[in-house]
């Protein structure tokens, strides 16, 4: 009789251990706003901007040199990250002030998927994917274009935001330079915008605010430290027996450039560089919170950005000799590489080799399939249709190379870049969304192309700066790449069909 009891006791001790080992990791995404691929120092002591905490994350995990956002602007990249499908299947532009949600009621999101799999889900900071603010318009005010404080019932619930896309918790300011200027807690206003926006206090590094209602106490300098503090508090509430997903979307280094005084002069790239150093400090606070609460060893952390640096990068190049896009051409909004090639770091202790590097072409749309695999969720063929599973790359397993058949980049309607291997084809006469400054072109020995140029073709391995157009030299490659692009634009999924 004693033997069965001993076996049962042994099994009862093993079951919790096995359950603990089988528990999926926590997932944390730290999402910078308008940060170039060369705005991270990666341990380079000569870098004009030193980012020791992001560097520490890179040393612990894998750094991708060829990681991309879906778009060269904000809202589309965020939509693609959360859904695993490219934004251009639905829209191209950003959500304006008081804009509607870009989501449909039945959209797949990684937050909704992870919540189904038992995760607690929290979103903090910049949302910029829309809400249904019409729900709190006062009677007789609905549909009016005027945005005035007295037009809304600020005490009401407004749907369509993070809570309706699978998040249990939200705290943030919506969008730093769009009204309403106030704090939002879940789906209600924590501070009430009672007055029109006034001329802001002098800003450290420039920028402006769109007109609209503002809370009396609103201060743009508070945003970055406050959303980080709220994230840290939420992480501290989590329990080791339930996984959680945290999406912290920084407002930095997006305009307005508002580093707090303690960070002024910390970089050699002006207030923009100082703002990145403050962002790096916030990354450090999140990492410390995970460590203090015993959660770091079972947490996958991603640091990346929604697009490249803003176009004042030209001035920074002249004044501080710092080019946010590194060896690449282009800035925010561009379909040149600098518009969408961004910092891309993934850390997962015990799973990803510390200090590893990858030159695999990867995209933020790939997070969806990766997280689904980690969480044990079987995606159907209508979910995350452009998302590849990154786990074979992250864990250094064998996989057919390259991982992605092709990668499509887009900002403006009808203007696309498609990447295959070392080659990128751009179906228009320029990859720049705005005029490239003469001084910048001369600095890097670049040239622009006539408006009647039918397209651009570059070999990025030999020409990362995209300085030599090979369009007329490889007609067969142009035909093949354009044909594939048209198939994708016609509705074909980018990721392989699932069994």
pLDDT in tens, 101-137: 999 999 999 999 999 999 999 999 999 999 999 999 9
What is the CB neighbour count within 10 angstroms for residue 412? 17
**N- to C-terminal Cα distance for the chain?**
49
**Please, are residues 286 and 225 in contact by the beta-carbon 8 Å criterion?**
no
- Is residue 202 predicted with pLDDT exceeding 90? no
CA dihedral of residues 148, 149, 155, 161 (deg, nearest 10): 50
pLDDT at 195 (0 to 100): 83
Rounded percentage of the chain residues whose pLDDT exceeds 70: 93
pLDDT at 67 (0 to 100): 98
pLDDT at 106 (0 to 100): 93
Q: Which two tokens stand for residue 236?
A: 């501290």
pLDDT at 45 (0 to 100): 97
Alpha-helix runs per DSSP H in 293-366: 313-320
The pTM of the whole model exceeds 0.75: yes
**How far is residue 49 CA from its own chain's centroid?**
20
Q: Which two tokens stand for residue 405?
A: 């058949």
The predicted model gives 460-488 an average pLDDT of 98
CA dihedral of residues 314, 319, 324, 325 (deg, nearest 10): 50
pLDDT at 9 (0 to 100): 44
pLDDT at 7 (0 to 100): 41
Alpha-helix runs per DSSP H in 197-353: 223-237, 270-292, 313-320
Q: Is 186 left (phi over 0), alpha (psi -120 to 50) or beta?
A: left
pLDDT at 6 (0 to 100): 44
The predicted model gives 283-312 an average pLDDT of 97
Q: What kind and span of H or E run contains 482?
A: helix 475-489
Q: Which residue has the higher pLDDT, 3 or 49?
A: 49
Task: Give the Å distances, CA to CA, from 208 to 126, 196, 315, 454.
Answer: 17, 14, 18, 37
Q: What is the spatial distance between Cα 369 and Cα 80, in angstroms, rounded to a whole number?
A: 12
pLDDT at 149 (0 to 100): 87
Return the closest-CA partner of residue 498 out of 392, 373, 406: 373
pLDDT digits (tens, 9 = 90+) for 4-35: 544 444 444 444 433 444 789 999 999 999 99
Rounded percentage of the chain residues whose pLDDT exceeds 90: 87
- Is residue 92 predicted with pLDDT exceeding 70? yes
The predicted model gives 144-162 an average pLDDT of 88
Alpha-helix runs per DSSP H in 23-84: 52-60, 74-83
State the average pLDDT for the chain: 93
Q: What kind and span of H or E run contains 392?
A: helix 391-394
pLDDT at 391 (0 to 100): 98
pLDDT at 210 (0 to 100): 86
pLDDT digits (tens, 9 = 90+) for 215-240: 999 999 999 999 999 999 999 999 98
């Amino acid at each position: 009789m004693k033997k069965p009891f001993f076996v049962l006791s042994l099994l009862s001790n093993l079951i919790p251990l096995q359950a603990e080992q089988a528990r999926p990791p926590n997932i944390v995404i730290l999402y910078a706003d308008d940060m170039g691929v060369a705005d991270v120092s990666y341990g380079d002591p000569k870098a004009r901007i030193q980012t020791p905490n992001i560097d520490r994350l890179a040393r612990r995990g894998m750094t991708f040199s060829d990681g991309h956002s879906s778009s060269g602007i904000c809202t589309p990249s965020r939509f693609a990250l959360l859904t695993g499908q490219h934004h251009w299947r639905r829209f191209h532009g950003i959500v304006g002030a008081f804009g509607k949600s870009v989501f449909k009621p039945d959209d797949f999101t990684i937050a909704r998927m992870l919540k189904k799999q038992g995760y607690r889900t929290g979103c903090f900071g910049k949302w910029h994917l829309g809400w249904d603010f019409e729900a709190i318009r006062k009677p007789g005010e609905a549909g009016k274009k005027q945005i005035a404080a007295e037009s809304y019932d600020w005490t009401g619930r407004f749907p369509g935001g993070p809570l309706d896309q699978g998040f249990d918790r939200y705290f943030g300011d919506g969008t730093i330079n769009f009204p309403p200027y106030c704090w939002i807690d879940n789906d209600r206003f924590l501070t009430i915008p009672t007055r029109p926006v006034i001329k802001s206090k002098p800003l450290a590094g420039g920028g402006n605010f769109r007109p609209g209602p503002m809370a009396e106490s609103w201060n743009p300098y508070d945003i970055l430290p406050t959303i980080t503090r709220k994230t840290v508090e939420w992480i501290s509430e989590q329990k080791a027996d339930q996984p959680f997903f945290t999406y912290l979307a920084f407002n930095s280094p997006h305009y307005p450039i508002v580093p707090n005084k303690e960070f002024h002069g910390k970089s050699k790239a002006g207030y923009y560089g100082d703002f990145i150093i403050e962002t790096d400090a916030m990354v450090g606070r999140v990492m410390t919170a995970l460590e203090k609460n015993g959660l770091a060893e079972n947490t996958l952390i991603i640091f990346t950005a929604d697009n490249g640096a803003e176009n004042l990068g030209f001035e920074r190049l002249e004044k501080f000799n710092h080019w946010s896009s590194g060896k690449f051409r282009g800035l925010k909004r561009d379909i040149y590489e600098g518009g969408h090639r961004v910092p891309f770091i993934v850390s997962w202790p015990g799973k990803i080799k510390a200090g590893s590097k990858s030159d695999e072409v990867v995209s933020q749309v790939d997070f969806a399939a990766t997280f689904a695999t980690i969480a044990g969720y079987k995606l159907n063929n209508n979910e995350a249709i452009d998302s590849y599973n990154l786990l074979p790359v992250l864990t250094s397993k064998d996989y057919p190379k390259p991982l992605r058949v092709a990668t499509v980049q887009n900002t403006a309607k009808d203007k696309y870049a498609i990447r295959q291997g070392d080659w990128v084809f751009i179906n228009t006469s320029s990859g720049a969304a705005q005029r490239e400054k003469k001084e910048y072109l001369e600095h890097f020995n670049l040239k622009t192309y006539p408006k009647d140029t039918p397209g651009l073709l570059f070999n990025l391995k030999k020409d990362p700066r995209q300085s030599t157009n090979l369009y007329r030299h490889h007609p067969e490659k142009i035909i093949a790449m354009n044909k594939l692009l048209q198939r994708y634009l016609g509705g074909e999924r980018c990721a392989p069909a699932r069994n």
